[in-house]
Amino acid sequence: MQERELTIRGFVEQVVVAFTNIDSRLMRSLLSLLTRPGALTVAYLQGQRRPYIRPLQLFLLANVLFFAMESLTNSTIFSTPLDSHLHNQPWDGLAQGLVANRLVALHTTLKLYTPVFDSAVALNARTLVILMALAFAPLLSVAFYRKHRPVVVNVVFSLHLYAFVLLLFSGALALLTVSVFFGGPGLASETLDKSLSVALMMACAIYLYAATGAVYDETRTIRILKVVALTVGVAAIVLGYRFALLLITLYSA
């Protein structure tokens, strides 16, 4: 057996088996994440880890897919450019003051600084995206404090949730690309933008309702109220992440 493993054929067979195993675990994990909310978290906590990829791995893969879609479609869901921060975000007034002060400190102009900021914020958006998942975990601790779940439960749940959210965004970007290809307005349409945002929020709420039932064993009535609050929390964290990226990039680029 050992001699066969040392041959070229044996080595190739091992590589094929390894990649097939990774692919099968990935597909099984994605299918479970999308069709059985909460099941991956429960399986991980029960020690059933070999059939699936780990929570952080799944999150990072979803992150890679999302930012690949963002680049391919030339969209800026998280890597918000400076011009958008200055004119199209809820904090645009505050951003204008902060940017003006930063330009004075750097002895530069808005025209020169904008490409530097846009390049840096795109990199930061990719590398710091895990902050959203970590920020959501304390909300679960508050919402389900009576369940006395360990902190790791909330962290794993958050990683799976935000992997799901990133996949949702990826799917939305793919649909928008198809729409634009056939002459649609894409995100240039405010109505379509808002409709898509509502649809994504509803999908997130459905996921949370099913997943919290599986992981936290919450009763239906109180679960609905908590899911509403947690869904608002997801939206608030997305906005907060954009604002955090503004501050981090502004004072590091």
Note the pLDDT tens digit of each residue in 116-155.
999 999 889 888 989 999 999 999 999 998 888 888 899 9
244 domain residue, yes or no: yes
pLDDT, position 11? 47
Structural domains counted in the chain: 1
- Whether 158 is covered by a domain: the verdict is yes
Residue 162 lies in a domain: yes
How is residue 178 written in tokens? 């198809």
Considering the domain boundaries, does residue 46 fall inside one? no
- Residue % of the chain over a pLDDT of 90: 45
pTM: 0.81
The answer as to whether 9 is a domain residue is: no
Q: Quick one: pLDDT at residue 237?
A: 92
Whether 189 is covered by a domain: the verdict is yes
Q: Which residues of 164-179 are buried (b: 16+ CB within 10 A; e: fewer)?
A: bbbbbbbbbbeebbeb
pLDDT confidence tier of residue 179, bands split at 50, 70 and 90: low
Decide if 241 is inside a domain.
yes
Separation in Å, CA 223 to CA 134, 204, 215, 216: 22, 14, 12, 10
Residue 23 placed within a domain: no
Domain boundaries, position 216:
55-250
Residue 30 has pLDDT above 80, yes or no: yes
